[in-house]
Amino acid sequence: MAIPNLSSRDPEAIPPYRPEETAQSARLARLRRRLPTFLSSPNKPTSPSKCDRFRERLPKFRAPNPPDRPTFKEWLRRCWLDVLTQLLCVLVAFIIYLTASPLMPRYFPLYPGIHTTDWGLKYGQPYVNEYINTTWSAAVSFVFPFLIMSAISGWYFNSFWDGNAACIGLGYALATATLFQSFIKWIIGGLRPHFLSLCNPAIPPAFGGIGQGPNAM
């Protein structure tokens, strides 16, 4: 490897030593150290702010036009059994709720002063109307989750069958829960907390009581 001969270089090509430039460079370096970071290095990329990081985490919604969306006939051909099963579960639960009498008799004590005992205080609560009736409760339990899952699958995941699976699962959950609840009330259900105050059953004749409930109960 050849070593360059520095003595053979043109003396005019070597920059002369200028002490004023060295002092000026030192002053500029001191000024840069005193300036804030965003002023001393304007070309340096800044780190994203909290708002920018939050916007990056937000879902990128797309148009609700999933490529796997079938026609109504095709959807019905694939999912008719699921829909029919859910409707049958709800229908059976509704029939049990309207027509089925308690499967086992319920016995309870009845004598003068029963309302002041522990049992009477437990089942003698005043009757209170429902804040939300059964129809509204069922509608809210299905409609709101259905809309949320449909929006997420249609706008975010852009997949019809993902949303369909979620909604079918929701329908199965609500239908089977309603059916089992009706069976449990029919087989195991007991007296309501307002039983005494609402029915006011008759005290047995041995105690000389007279009932005021329906059918002289």
Give the domain range for residue 167.
68-101+134-199
pLDDT given for residue 38 in this prediction: 47
Separation of alpha carbons 199 and 214, rounded Å: 7
Say which range, 15-29, 114-128, 136-150, has the weakest mean pLDDT: 15-29
Q: Quick check: is 166 in a domain?
A: yes
* Orientation of helix 160-187 relative to helix 72-99, angle to 10°: 10
Query: What are 124's two structure tokens?
Result: 């003698």
Would you say residue 80 lies in a domain? yes
Q: Which amino acid is located at 189 in the chain?
A: G
Residue 31: the pLDDT is 66
156 lies in a domain? yes
106 within a domain of the structure (yes/no): no
Spatial neighbors of 197 by CB under 8 A, at least 6 apart, are 124, 125, 126, 127
What letter represents residue 176's amino acid? T
Backbone φ, ψ for residue 134 (5° rounding): -65, -40
Using pLDDT thresholds of 50, 70 and 90, give the confidence band for residue 27.
Answer: confident
Q: Is the pLDDT of residue 47 over 70?
A: no
- Strongest mean pLDDT among 43-47, 84-88, 97-101, 106-110: 84-88
104 class by beta-carbon count within 10 Å (0-12 exposed, 13-18 middle, 19+ buried): exposed
> Is pLDDT larger for residue 109 or for residue 39?
109
Determine the length of the chain: 217
Question: Which one has a higher pLDDT value, 7 or 70?
Answer: 70
User: Per the domain annotation, does 73 fall within a domain?
Assistant: yes
What is the secondary structure of 38-98 as a DSSP string?
HHH-TTSPPPP-HHHHHHHHS-----S--TT---HHHHHHHHHHHHHHHHHHHHHHHHHHH
pLDDT of residue 40: 47
Domain contains 16: no
The answer to whether position 155 is within a domain reads yes
Report residue 98 as tokens.
């309207």
Cβ proximity of 127 and 198 under 8 Å: yes
The whole-angstrom separation of Cα 10 and Cα 217 is: 127
* pLDDT of the residue at 88: 96
pLDDT higher than 50, residue 209: no
**Could you tell me if residue 179 is inside a domain?**
yes
Sequence-distant (≥ 6) Cβ neighbours of residue 70 within 8 angstroms: 78, 160
Number of folded domains in the chain?
A: 1
Read off the pLDDT band of 66 (50, 70, 90): low
Q: Please say if the pLDDT value at position 11 is more than 90.
A: no
